[in-house]
Amino acid sequence: MANPMAGEVEVVLDGVPHVAKLTLGALAELEAELAESDLLGLVARFEAGRVSSRDVLALLVAGLRGGGWQGRAAELRSVEIGGGPVAAARIAAELLARAFSVPGGAGE
């Protein structure tokens, strides 16, 4: 079960729940994958609603890997993500928000 206070989000892949979390290593992997000079650009794209399916997939992979999953992006292309594409985008946004929020801060 995911712990939101620890920045974790639950992702269901083919009916199996997984924990996702953007650790520092996962964030570094994400920057490299998306060729961003920093993550603020990615956050700004999400806030502006200019997110691509590639962004969502990269965020999910980074978060899942931060949660201990050993898979690759290619594997996510063939699994059923619980809730479909809309849920995947919501989960990606939650991962970003939780990675950059202070536990117990405003809105928690």
Instruction: Yes or no: say if 26 and 68 are a contact pair by the CB < 8 Å rule.
Output: no
Mean pLDDT of 34-49: 77
Confidence (pTM):
0.84
Write b or e for each residue in 44-61: b if 16 or more Cβ atoms lie within 10 A of its Cβ, otherwise e.
Answer: ebbeeeebeeebbbbbbb
Specify if 19 maps to a domain.
yes
pLDDT of 106 over the 70 cut: no
pLDDT above 90 as % of the chain: 42
Indicate the Cα dihedral angle 33, 96, 75, 53, nearest 10°.
-80
pLDDT of 69 over the 80 cut: yes
Specify if 37 maps to a domain.
yes
Specify if 40 maps to a domain.
yes
E-strand ranges in 1-108 read 9-13, 16-20
pLDDT of 61 over the 90 cut: yes
Specify if 14 maps to a domain.
yes
Q: Regarding predicted confidence, which is higher, 108 or 66?
A: 66
Specify if 51 maps to a domain.
yes
Count how many domains the chain has.
Answer: 1
Count each helix (H run) and each strand (E run) in the chain, helices first: 5, 2
pLDDT at 102: 67
Specify if 107 maps to a domain.
no
Mean pLDDT of 57-61: 92
Specify if 104 maps to a domain.
no
Specify if 43 maps to a domain.
yes
Q: Which domain holds residue 51?
A: 4-99
E-strand ranges in 5-60 read 9-13, 16-20
Which pLDDT band, with edges at 50, 70 and 90, does 86 fall under?
Answer: very high
